[in-house]
Amino acid sequence: MAIRYRCRHCETEIGRLPFGSADEARTLLRLGEEEAEEFILEGEDGDATVQCICKDCEQSLDRFPDYYSLQKWLQ
C-alpha cells in the first residue's frame, strides 16, 4: 500500500510514500472525516491518493487568487 500525493489541478504526481493507507494519510494531514473524503481518494488496491497542489499551480494561485477563490487548499 502507498500514499500518493497528486496535484488536483494538473494531476502531476508530487510525491509518494511507499507505505501507508488512506487512514494514515488522514492522520498525517490531521484531516477530519469530511475533509478526508474530499482530499483523499482510496484506490481499490488500498492505495491512497492525496489531492494537493504542486508548486506550479501554487504560483498560479498566488498570481490569480480570484480564479481559485472558491477552492479550499492544503498547504
Give the binding site for Zn ion (CB under 5 A). 7, 9-10, 54, 57
β-sheet with 48-52: strand ranges across: 13-17, 3-7, 48-52, 40-42
**In the complex, least distance from residue 62 CB atom to Zn ion, rounded to whole angstroms:** 13
Nearer to Zn ion, 6 or 26 (CB): 6
Minimum Å distance from CB 46 to Zn ion?
25
Minimum CB separation of residue 72 from Zn ion in Å reads 16
Task: Please state whether beta strands 3-7 and 48-52 pair in parallel, antiparallel, or not at all (unpaired).
Answer: parallel
Cβ atoms of 29 and 50 within 8 Å: the answer is yes
